[in-house]
Chain A
Amino acid sequence: MPLLKSIENILSDNLPLFAKDGGFVKKGYSKELDKVTSFRDESRQHIIEMESEERIKTGLSTLKIKYNNVLGHFFEITQLQKKKFLQMEGVERFIPRQSLKGVSRFITDELSKLSEEISNSAEKAIDIELKIFEDIRVAIKDQHNDLASISYGISRLDVASSLAEIATLYNFVRPSILEDQSLEIIEGRHPSVELSMHKSGEDSFYSNNCNLNNEDKIWLITGPNMAGKSTFLRQNALITILAQAGSFVPAKKASIGIVDSLFSRVGSSDDLASGRSTFMVEMLETASILNQAGKKSLVIMDEVGRGTSTYDGLSLAWAILEHLHNDCNSRTLFATHYHELTKLSDSLKSLSCHTMKVKEWKNKVIFLYTVEKGIAKGSYGIHVASLAGIPNPVLERAKNILGDYESLDKTSGLKKVEKKQLSQDTKNNDTKNILNTIISDITATDIDSLSPREALEKLYTYDKSIKKLDK
């Protein structure tokens, strides 16, 4: 392209910010410009010569020729020398222009002529430069489509080579892209977490497998908070995005059946600004997923139903899973804290249960950040609470309550607990009543008048009514 070549030949080394400042065209490019600029520079030389000549003529060593935008070039002398200067011979050729506090300014015909020549040639030089600039502008305009192709080529080379750089540095692999409904990621890692850890100098990051296919479409993941459920969910979605954007992925092996739509409902954030409740937002988003997800979709759901009461939430999550399984038929990763949902693996044939691996050791809980087949034993919420610094008495009390809950039948656990609380309350009332009867009976009785047999009989009655209470 001749244009690109000529730009290289035109531009000088030190470029001004604006074209109208001039001076950006290299010497030797335009004869006309060089002629004008050399004339301008010669005239500037004349000025310097004129200054020294006049110094000798007037004998004033501080006489200077200066320049500003209003006056052009002018002679300047200090007020101290002005008196001496005005008494000199031949001073008439100096025409006073301006008198300031410290200095006086004069011009001569000779100087103004030279000054005009300089300003004319400077103007002319800038006009020529601007003309050259405009010529290039038009040339660029004419070739803008070619330039766009060049920059597109650069952008593609940059993207591919930089993704290759990442792949080499951080062991990303080429994913196999397939036309089926599978999602198999072996030892996948979360790209953002991994790269930001690398940047801060750490390099241990947990990897996990994910394997969805036609027979095993939905993974229901239970397990404690903080154990890495959300990270696992997200990393599979992000790996899919990277793969289909044409990048290598952070995994040991990945084969991905093309995903045509990706849905994710992760965490709950209060949308106070728009005045919608968390739960409303959650349901709006869930609705759009259920209405749109299909067999080529990938759906990520984390703790859906958390924003409402336990029963509401559990029943909603239950029905949502059934819909995803039976109607949407989408590949789905579904994390929940409702352990009751794991029962669905009996009725939904393409659903399987998975959990975050946890080790209990010396009364402490260790999260292994690994996904395995199975059902979580507990939520370990109290463990997380203790990590967060909840005071000990609260933790102890919570453990007791949890013990009560867990000793009850799991399937209808909450109902029983509520019943238990209820019966405990009535029991307390009964105890009070019986105690009151016994006390009033004792106070009403003259103990001294009782025979040993009568006393024994009373004791039996008390004992009987107390024992009745226990049943």
Chain B
Amino acid sequence: MPSNNNLEQQSLPLLSKATGEAILKTTPMFQQFLKVKAENEDCLLFFRMGDFYELFFEDAVIAAKELDIALTSRGQYDGKPVPMCGVPYHSYMPYLEKLTKKNYKIAVCEQVESPKDAKIRGGYKAIVQREVVRIVTPGTLTEEVLLEADENNFLLCISYSKNYIGLSWIDISTGELYTELCSKNNFLTSISRVRPKEILAIDNQLLEENNYIELLKTTFDCIITPVAQNITHSKKAEKLICLNYGVKSLDSFGNFTENEILSCWSLLDYVSLTQKGNIPPIRFPKSIKNESTMQIDNSTRKSLEINQTLSGNKKGSLIDSVDFTLTAVGARQLDRDISAPLTNLKEIDERLDLIEFFVESQSIRNSIRKILKSSADIDRAKARIILSRGGPRDLQSIKL
């Protein structure tokens, strides 16, 4: 990620704070690019130009290497040619997939007016207005090609204060949202149960003193993003969450501790930021009690090959072996069940009762499985449609 202030980074021409324009004189197009880039420094900027998304400067160098596409140049800046590469807008998904899998964040910047309108607005020399419409990060994906059908795609947020750690995690492609209160001793175990694709850590002194960012980086191989703590008061955060759901209080959804509320708000805030206000359907938050599931830490999961084998493949793992499900929602549910065995006798027996029923009633089982075979991924189709990223085929998935 181009986030470190190394030499190369400093060569990126920054904007003057006073005028909001590039320090060096350049074309209006580069002015516009640099301004948008400055607002999205930690992202690769996909800058829409006609039928292409173009990348410039360091972004172009990184993308050309990661995507194995040709690096060219366009114009000059500071006397040197500006590196450039691009991908066609109508088939950019595979490129996006490659980059998100490698833990990059991508800001998608679109043309928000037609060239005709631009000329009417600002004369024949005017360039079209562009805006970032979405930030694509590994934890905020919704497109089918970017997701694994049989796994959740969780974004998790950590809030650490007063000796407790609040976790909350969301899958915006399905709308599930959970929170959990942990201690310093068991929060890593809980995170390894969730297996998030991206972790947000609310940046504060406690986090820094304990060097948790480093600890998270060595324990989990996903992207870790520190986020600024803009709200420290949990009552205020709670109000904002309530506003989001259009309710008066969170009490009816369960008891949430301060840390859970703070992390939950930061999570929702980040989703809103990356989706540019286009909020996906989110279910009411559910607070998970730490002791309600069997504690299985990361190294135990690895050594028992629960989610993947020692060589890193899903095939041959426990979950893969017992996955006879027929639907994507079923596969994800099974994945969650096996990852989080229960500790409550009554709940376990309820599940076992249902299986016993299906073992004994073979004909009912067969007819249900026949129906299940034709069922589609309602959750994800629904999220895409509501985010206006879906097509008629997503509607058909909901039809049943």
Chain A residues within 8 Å of B, Cβ to Cβ: 4, 7-8, 10-11, 15-19, 24, 133, 136-137, 140-141, 144-145, 147-148, 150-152, 154-168, 174-175, 177-179, 191-192, 195-196, 234, 237-238, 240-248, 258-267, 269, 274, 285, 288, 292, 300
Contact = CB atoms under 8 A, between A and B. Distances in A.
Contacts of A141: 281, 386
Nearest to A149: B283
B392 A157 contact: no
Interface size band for B: 35 or more
A377 to B, nearest CB: 28
Contact of B359 (A19, A164, A288): A164
A137 B385 contact: yes
Main secondary structure of the interface of B (DSSP, over half): helix
Contacts of A178: 345
A240 B306 CA distance: 12
Given A17-B393, A151-B329, A264-B299, 7 more contacts: A155-B327, A160-B358, A178-B345, A179-B345, A195-B322, A258-B343, A265-B300
Nearest to B295: A261
B293 to A, nearest CB: 9
Contacts of B331: 158
Contacts of B306: 238, 241
23 contacts: A4-B398, A7-B398, A10-B395, A15-B392, A19-B391, A133-B392, A154-B375, A158-B331, A159-B330, A160-B357, A164-B356, A165-B358, A165-B365, A167-B359, A191-B318, A192-B321, A238-B306, A238-B318, A241-B304, A241-B341, A242-B322, A246-B337, A261-B296
A13 to B, nearest CB: 10
Contacts of B354: 156, 160
A247 B355 contact: yes
A157 B368 contact: yes
A29 to B, nearest CB: 13
Q: Nearest 5 CB-CB pairs, A to B?
A: A246-B351, A158-B330, A164-B358, A244-B341, A261-B295
Given A15-B393, A140-B398, A245-B338, A164 B355 contact: yes
A30 to B, nearest CB: 15
A159 B355 CA distance: 9
Interface of B: 175, 185, 218, 281, 283-284, 291, 294-297, 299-300, 303-306, 310, 316-318, 320-327, 329-334, 337-338, 340-343, 345, 347-352, 354-359, 362, 365, 368-369, 372, 375, 378-379, 382, 385-386, 388, 391-393, 395-396, 398-400
B295 A262 contact: yes
Nearest to A298: B294
Given A11-B399, A19-B391, A258-B343, A167 B355 contact: yes
A155 B398 contact: no
A37 B331 CA distance: 42
A258 B325 CA distance: 26
A89 to B, nearest CB: 41
Nearest to B359: A164
Nearest to A163: B355
B378 A151 contact: yes
Contacts of A242: 318, 322, 338, 341
B322 A191 contact: yes
Nearest to B291: A260
B253 to A, nearest CB: 12
